[in-house]
Structure 1
Amino acid sequence: MNVRDFAIGAVAGAVAGAAVVEAVNRADRNVSPDKVLEDVKNAFKKEGPIDGAWIVMKTEPFRQKAVELDVYRGGLSREIDGSYEQYEFAADARTGTVVEINKI
C-alpha cells in the first residue's frame, strides 16, 4: 500500500464519519417552532383566511393515553362566514406533526 492510497482512504473515512455525526446530531434536534406555526397556518388557510396566530417557543410535555412526547403549543383565529373562531393546537416538537386541535 502506498501513501496515496492510504491518504484517499483516510479522507474518505473522515468524510463518512463527519456525515454520520451530523446525521446523529440532526436526529436529536426539534423542528423550529416557526416552521410548525407556518405549516399549521398553511393548513388552515386552505379553508379560509387567518386573522392571527401564535406559538410558544418552548416545548412542554404532552401525554395522550400511552404516548408521551414534547410538544409546541399554539393557536390561531379566523373569521368564517361572519363567525369568529379560535383554535388551540399541540404539535410534536421533533416532527412538527399536529397531535391535537381544539376549537375554543
Structure 2
Amino acid sequence: MKKCDRTAFLIGAAAGAAAAFLIQKQTSESMNVPPEKVLKQIKETFKQNGPVDGSWIQMKPEEYENNGFRVLVYKGGISRPGDTGNEQFEFAADAKTGTLLNVQSVNL
C-alpha cells in the first residue's frame, strides 16, 4: 500500500469514527424516557400522600404547550381513595425527562 493510500484510508477511518460518535450521541440525547418508567415515578410521587388505586399512561407522546414552549409529553391518570370516594387526576409528563409538568384534579 502506498503512503498516500494509507493516509487517505486513515483520514477516512477517522472521519467515519467521528461521524458515528456524533450520530450516536445525538440519537441518545433525543430518546424519550420509556412511558412505563415515567408512570412508575409519578405513582411513587403520589404514594407519598396516600395509596394509589389505579393508573394509566399513553404510550405515544404528543405535543403539549407549556409556558409558551412546545414539548412532547406523555399524558396519563391516577386514581386514589379520598374522603368522599375515589379522586381522579390527569397529568402531563415531559417525554424526554419524565418531569411532571401538569396535574389536574378531574371532577366526576
Q: TM-score, normalised by structure 2?
A: 0.74
**Equivalence map 1:13-28=2 (5 Å):** 20-28=22-30
Aligned length: 94
Q: Which sections of structure 2, spanning at least 5 residues, go unmatched?
A: 1-12
SS at match of 1:30: coil
Q: Which shifted more, 74-83 or 86-95? A: 74-83
Q: What's 2:31 paired with?
A: 29
Q: TM-score, normalised by structure 1?
A: 0.77
Q: What's 2:57 paired with?
A: 55
Distance 2:21 2:85 in 1: 52
Q: Which sections of structure 1, spanning at least 5 residues, go unmatched?
A: 1-9
Q: What's 2:72 paired with?
A: 70
Which amino acid in structure 2 is aligned with residue 39 of structure 1? Q
Cα displacement (A) at 1:81: 3.8
Q: Percent identity?
A: 44
Root-mean-square deviation (CA), in Å? 2.3
Q: 1:20 to 1:102 in 2, by over 3 A?
A: same
Kindly name which structure, 1 or 2, has the bigger radius of gyration based on alpha carbons.
2
Distance 1:94 1:48 in 2: 27
Distance 1:56 1:47 in 2: 24
